[in-house]
Structure 1
């Protein structure tokens, strides 16, 4: 007898329906076809033990299972439950009239318990699009999948619960979530706050500008000056995620199985990879491509601490994704694209010893050593970072102050105000939402300068020998500074402040 059961595979951040055709006929043998990987091939051992431990068995007949489309490689153990129910239905051990209305996924333990799967959210979205009545999956993934409306989601603990449901012995509890209500309830404030930072007012100003315009920023300073502390607090002043951004971000984290059991992500991601990371782990890839750190930080912050310690070739592969805000990974048989619209925050010491060219520093480095150290970072990569700022050590008088600094809540209000201005400005542009995303054409349209500003910028470009990309970055940052002041036209004050934030372009900045 032939039975069809439905599962799904995830490619990139999109899912595709997999039809599992199970045919039980006269003879002996177990044949699984349709390009399964080793984890799928091994499923027959898990299925046999799980069925036996729950009072069922694999029939002693010829079983042929085809996973269509047969030319797509099937990976992982999430098809165990799909295959097991297909075998039971094809051998008439369970009632199966309605089994084709459901999309079924889950990894089986030997006792029939279900283990969580990856990619539950994109699979649920695809199930809803394809018109399935419901989605049956492990209990740990149920809230994640229930984010999708108009789809019955059933979280189950073990194989027996699913069998009893189709045999109409015991109903399953449908998981329902009011997505918007849940999202608003969980949108609490991040644990780190700028009020904890003593001194560093000019750096806080830079972080505010970066947050307001979505600009990349690099902090250069000696050890203990507060670079990491400032970077960790940047998400606390970014605008709260919209529901659309939360769904986008959760989809990516779902693919790698990093979504917590409470479903939709409500906080902007903050990713802080170690400097030994490989290029595939940073931008995504592998034999069977997975999202990298730049995609896991989509709609959030990617913090690269001690930037020159990263391998140069690893950093260079970020250049294209930083411009295009997506990364495309091509393989012989398929291509996947992952979104990567993130804010880059990098930090670095000014020299191998960690200090500026200061005779009083504990460790001194010559200007040549400092220049060689900075040379580990390519000019094209630095060009893609809008704001370069020096972070000086905090004086004792500031550290010992009892008075707290301005809170993240107050700074965030100004950032949200500036972002609202940008939202109205770019309302007719589908791919642009804030100033850092503007291309050259949009910069010319929205960053119009008066004569005095042109003269000032021309002088800076010639004196600092700035590239065309650095010129555009200055205009973007100046536009953001004007937005923070709720001013329509860019003035010389905005241009001069933006020029100050190109420290690494200034000759002799090392002192």
Structure 2
């Protein structure tokens, strides 16, 4: 007898349906065909142990399992449950006609318990799209699947519950989640807040400008000056995720298996902070079955690279294209996968190997030329993609012990949202451009018009400070954002002057 069940596999952030056909016939052994990897083939042992635990039998005849389409590679252990149910029906141990109406996924333990799987959200979206009645999956993944409406999400704890459900012996109420309620009640919950930061008013201002225009930032300062602390608070002043952005972000984390058991929809902007020993594949994504890397996990949020010069040069260079295109394409012999990567890059670094170059109190002990060699670890093309260079100075004792109230993230965020609304209106007819930082050079010339006095100031600054040519566009973009924060239609002299001070590393002889 031939039985059919349905599972799914993920490619990039999308899913495709896999048909699992089982035929029990004359002969011996179990055969799995359809480009199954080792994890899928090993399911035979897990399935046999699970069935015996609940009093069912593995057929002692030839059992042929076909995973279609047969020319697409199947990976992972999530096919255990649909294969097991297909074997039971093909061997006439269960007789349900409901199996083909549901998409089924789950990894079995040896005692029949179900373990959580990856990629539930894109699979559930594909199941609804293909007209399945519901999705049977491990209970730990049910809250994630429930994000998708108009699809019955049936969470089960073990294979016996799944069997009883399909045979009508157990009624399981589909899990329903109000996605909008979950989203709007949790989108403003941030652990870190700018109200806890004493002093550093100039750094807060710079991060407000960065958030308002979507600009990339590098912070340069001695150890203990507060670079990491300030970076961790940046997501709290970014505009809230839209529901579309939240779903897009959740899909990426779902495919990567980064969602917790109780987590459904990601409502806060992600903050990713990989260690400097990370490989280039781990950063941009890859593998035999391509998985998203850190830059995709930071999509719609912040990627924080602490101690930037300590990262391997090859790792930093692979970010250049994603920073421009806001996506990363991973190509293999038989497949090409595209992951979104629209993130804000926030980097921090010491000014020199000892960390105290330009320190107001401590003396730098680095030998001559060491500061320049240290800075040269960051390539010009990468630095070219960073709009704001911020020099972070240590907080004085008086500032640390001051009881003066500090502005909260909520207050700063209101100004950022207002500036982003201006940009949304400005770029409404330009597809793929949502903030000032995304403007190409030609658009900068059209939108960032400055007065004759402004041109004179900019010319003087470039000559006196020795600013490089690449600083020109960056200064105009940042000045446009500062003007938006001020609610000004025109870029004024004071906006340009403030933007010019954020190009520290472009200045000649900055490193001595």
TM range (shorter): over 0.9
Determine the structure 2 residue equivalent to 1:481: 482
- Would the aligned equivalents of 1:79 and 1:106 in 2 still touch at CA under 8 Å? yes
Match of 1:236 in 2: 236
Answer yes or no: is the 8 Å Cα contact 1:357–1:510 preserved in 2.
no
Cα deviation code 1:231-287 (max 9, x no counterpart): 111111111111111101110000111112230011111111111111111111122
> SS at 2:369's partner residue?
helix
Partner of 1:389: 390
What is the distance in 2 between the residues matched to 1:223 and 1:390?
12
| Matched residue SS, 2:3 | strand
In structure 2, the residue matched to 1:65 is: 65
| Deviation (angstroms), 1:467 | 5.4
Q: 1:180 to 1:358 in 2, by over 3 A?
A: closer
Corresponding residue SS for 1:15: strand
Residue in 1 aligned with 2:346?
A: 345
Q: Compute the displacement of 1:405 (Å).
A: 1.4
User: Which aligned pairs between 1:260-409 and structure 2 lie closer than 5 A?
Assistant: 260=260, 261-357=262-358, 361=362, 363-409=364-410
Which moves more between the two structures, 469-478 or 268-277?
Answer: 469-478
SS of the residue corresponding to residue 443 of structure 1 reads helix
- 1:211–1:50: structure 2 CA closer, same or farther, 3 Å change rule? same
Q: CA deviation at 1:376?
A: 0.5
Query: CA offsets per residue over residues 384-423 of structure 1, 9 Å max, x none?
Result: 0010011111122212211121111111111111111111
Counterpart of 1:241 in 2: which secondary structure? coil
**3-state SS of the aligned residue for 2:153?**
strand
Counterpart of 2:49 in structure 1 is 49
Structure 1: state its 5+ residue gaps: none
Distance 1:435 1:355 in 2: 34
- How high is the TM-score relative to the length of structure 2? 0.97
Which residue number corresponds to residue 17 of structure 1?
Answer: 17
Structure 2 partner of 1:424? 425
Name the structure 2 match of 1:142: 142
Q: For the structure 1 residues 487 and 53, does the alpha-carbon distance in structure 2 shift closer, same or farther, using more than 3 Å as the test? A: same
Contact 1:357 1:365 (8 Å CA) reproduced: no
SS of structure 2 residue aligned to 1:245: helix
Task: Encode CA deviations 1:300-354: one digit per residue, 9 max, x unaligned.
Answer: 1111110000111110000000111111111111111111111111000000001
Q: 1:409-448 residue pairs with structure 2 within 5 A?
A: 409-448=410-449
Contact 1:142 1:154 in 2 (8 A): yes
Cα deviation code 1:77-105 (max 9, x no counterpart): 00000100111111221123121111100
- CA distance in 1 between counterparts of 2:465 and 2:291 reads 41
Contact 1:357-1:366 within 8 A present in 2 as well: no
Counterpart CA distance in 2 for 1:343 and 1:140 is 32
- Aligned CA distance change for structure 1 residues 468 and 13 (closer, same or farther; 3 Å): farther
Decide whether the 8 Å contact of 1:306 with 1:346 is kept in 2.
yes
- Correspondence 1:205 to 2:205: yes
| Secondary structure class of the residue paired with 1:181 | helix
Partner-residue secondary structure (3-state), 1:160: helix
Residues 467 and 507 of structure 2 are in contact (CA less than 8 Å); yes or no, is this contact kept in structure 1? no
Q: Distance in 2 between matches of 1:181 and 1:265?
A: 13
Contact 1:367 1:510 in 2 (8 A): no
* More displaced 10-residue stretch of structure 1: 151-160 or 365-374: 365-374
Secondary structure, counterpart of 1:8 in structure 2:
strand
> Contact 1:294 / 1:302 at 8 angstroms: preserved in 2?
yes
Structure 1 segments of 4 or more deviating over 6 A? none
Residue 50 of structure 2 aligns to a residue whose secondary structure is: helix
Give how far 1:182 is off: 1.3
Q: 1:72-111 to 2 correspondence within 5 Å?
A: 72-111=72-111
Report the Cα distance in structure 1 between the residues aligned to 2:247 and 2:306, rounded to whole angstroms.
Answer: 28
Tell me how far 1:366 sits from its aligned partner.
3.9
Q: Give the Cα–Cα distance (whole angstroms) in 1 for the partners of residues 192 and 359 of structure 2.
A: 32
For structure 2, the residue ranges without an aligned partner over 5 or more in a row are none
Separation in structure 2 between the aligned mates of residue 202 and residue 394 of structure 1, nearest angstrom = 12
Contact 1:225 1:392 survives alignment (8 Å): yes
C-alpha displacement of 1:440: 2.4
Whether the aligned pair in 2 keeps the contact of 1:357 and 1:367 (CA below 8 Å) is: no
Q: Measure the CA separation in 1 of the matches of 2:272 and 2:17.
A: 31
Q: Work out the CA distance in 1 between the residues paired with 2:483 and 2:103.
A: 52
Name the residue aligned to 2:37: 37
Give 2:191's aligned residue: 191
Work out the CA distance in 2 between the residues paired with 1:132 and 1:440: 48
Distance 1:221 1:67 in 2: 56
Q: CA deviation at 1:466?
A: 5.0
